[in-house]
Chains A and B, each alone.
Chain A
C-alpha cells in the first residue's frame, strides 16, 4: 500500500531534518568556543543527505517507481575551513603568543540554515497530515 509509504517517507524526512537541526544548534552553541590549538578548535558540522534506495534483493520492490524511498543522513562532515586566530592574551586558553583559536562559524548563515531546516520539517509534517486524512477517508469508505 503506497499510502502508508508516505508516512515512512515523511518520517525519514523529519528525522533527517532534525539531525540537521541538531548539527546547526551544535554549530551555533559552539560559535564562541575557544581553543588553544587549531586542532582542538570546534569544526562546524554539516549532515550529508542521500536518497534511500531499495535493497536489490527485494524483488517485489524492484521496479523503477519504488526505487526511492525517503531520505537518509549518510554522514556528518566537519568543515575544512581553518579556525580564526584572535589575540586574547588575557584568555586562560591563550597559547604562549597570546592567541586563541575560534571556529570559523558564520552565525547568520547557520540561522538561515536553521530556518530552511524548520521549513522543510514543517512541509514533511503537512505531507503526513494530508496522507493521514486520505487514509481516514479510505477507512470511512461505505459508512
Chain B
C-alpha cells in the first residue's frame, strides 16, 4: 500500500529540489564567481533504483531521495563564460525551470488520477 503513488512521490521531491536549485541560479545570475548547478534526473533516478536498502535503524540514512543528499548534483558547463566568472545563462535556466515545472505538473496529474481511482474504489460507485 505504501507504493500506491509509485515513482511520482520521488519525482515530486526531485522536482521541488531542482526548482530550488534553479531558482538559486537565477537569483544569482549577476553574482560574481557564482557557478550554476543542476540536478541530473537520470543519475538520481538510477541511484535510487540500484541502491535500495532497508532502514534497520532510525539513525541510518533514509535513502538517496530523502532530500538530505543528492549525488546527481553537478555544475553546469557554461556556454558563454562571463568576465566575472559567473556561469549562469538566464535563458537556459528559465527554460530548465519551466521544464521542471511541467514535470511537476505531470506528476501531479498522475497522482490526482491515482487518488481519484482509489476514491472511487473506496466509495464503490
Interface positions of A (Cβ within 8 A of B):
1-3, 5-6, 9-10, 12-13, 16, 49-51, 63-65, 68-71, 116, 120, 123-124, 126-127, 130-131, 133-134, 137-138, 141-142
In the assembled complex, the CB of B94 is this many whole angstroms from the nearest CB of chain A, namely 7
Q: Out of B15, B16, B29, B115, which one reaches A142, CB within 8 Å?
A: B115
In the assembled complex, the CB of A64 is this many whole angstroms from the nearest CB of chain B, namely 6
Given contacts A6-B20, A9-B20, contact A130 B97 (CB under 8 A): yes
- Cα A3 to Cα B20 in complex, Å, equals 6
Interface positions of B (Cβ within 8 A of A):
15-17, 19-21, 23-24, 26-32, 34, 37, 67-70, 73, 90, 94, 97-98, 101, 104-105, 108, 111-112, 115-116, 119
Q: Out of B17, B24, B30, B105, which one reaches A137, CB within 8 Å?
A: B105
> At the interface, is chain A mostly helix, strand, loop or mixed?
helix
> At the interface, is chain B mostly helix, strand, loop or mixed?
helix
Q: Of all chain B residues, which has the CB nearest A12?
A: B27
Give chain A residues whose Cβ lies under 8 Å from the Cβ of B17: 2, 65
Beyond the given A137-B104, A141-B111, could you list 4 further A-B residue pairs with CB under 8 A, ordered by the A residue number? A3-B16, A70-B24, A127-B97, A137-B105
